[in-house]
Amino acid sequence: MRKLVYLFSLLSLWMAASVSAQSVKRQEATMEDYLPLLQASGYQVYSFDISEFLNDTYRFSFKIKEYTNKEEVKADHSYSTFENRTMIADFPEESQKRILEKGTAADLEKGVYSQAKKMTISFMPSKADSIQSLRMGLDGMGMSGRGLKLKSLKDPKSDKMFYYYASRPFVVDKFEEGKFIPLVFFASYWVDEEYGFFRFCGANEIGADMGKEYIESTPHYFVIGVEINKKK
């Protein structure tokens, strides 16, 4: 009996030691920890790899197309244009000498002073509910901002007006020089007439059908994209 009690006591001590060896320790938060918080606050970034264009200089012209009830709004859709790289030869001779002396160029062998490997389209909150802040640009080469004017929806239950929009990326299959490439779909929710609530249902990425399931239902949307042309 004493031996059994002794063995039980040892087992209890071992279990207590095992439990006490495990602990929860505080650590510094990483950027990944902040992402859900930023997205919930209205921040969203879409990033696109453009490193395959670095063998030449291209002009990236951002465009925004707007649609109301499936009809395109007639307007000048062209906005900022940025080049994907700057050559050392683009600078005055004195500046070229300083760049070569300091070794600050992105690629001295190819004569490239600066270059962009990615392109981003970003959404962020604005002070007015009726405006969506948008930024478009090439990493390290330039960035421009614009406000998108939103259209309100009436809540069928309260008759109050709300602004509800969401975004989806397009699937980019191939590049054709001089043609508009849709990158991000930004659209209003719509009212589900049967159940009386706001809805935004569909695929997480927009394919070749240009988001037909969204377009058939949403009353207002934007297509944000880019046109790429080789610099002559």
- Does residue 20 sit within a domain? no
- Does residue 217 sit within a domain? yes
- Across 97-109, average pLDDT: 91
Residue for token digits 């309100």? 152
- The pLDDT value recorded for residue 14 is 55
- Does residue 18 sit within a domain? no
Q: Does the CA dihedral 196-198-202-204 come out positive or negative?
A: negative
- The pLDDT value recorded for residue 184 is 96
- Across 84-113, average pLDDT: 93
pTM of the model: 0.82
pLDDT at residue 196 above 80?
Answer: no
Decide if 90 contacts 98 (C-beta within 8 A).
no
- The pLDDT value recorded for residue 157 is 81
- Does residue 209 sit within a domain? yes
- Does residue 122 sit within a domain? yes
Domain enclosing residue 118, as ranges: 31-230
First vs last C-alpha separation in the chain: 95
Band the pLDDT of 180: cuts 50, 70, 90.
very high
pLDDT in tens, 64-91: 999 999 899 987 677 799 999 999 999 9
- The pLDDT value recorded for residue 11 is 61
- Across 113-142, average pLDDT: 94
Decide if 135 contacts 129 (C-beta within 8 A).
no
- The pLDDT value recorded for residue 134 is 95
- Across 34-58, average pLDDT: 89
- Does residue 17 sit within a domain? no
- The pLDDT value recorded for residue 215 is 87
- The pLDDT value recorded for residue 86 is 95
pLDDT at residue 132 above 90?
Answer: yes
- Does residue 16 sit within a domain? no
- Does residue 6 sit within a domain? no
pLDDT at residue 16 above 70?
Answer: no
Residue for token digits 């005055």? 92
Q: How many domains does the chain have?
A: 1
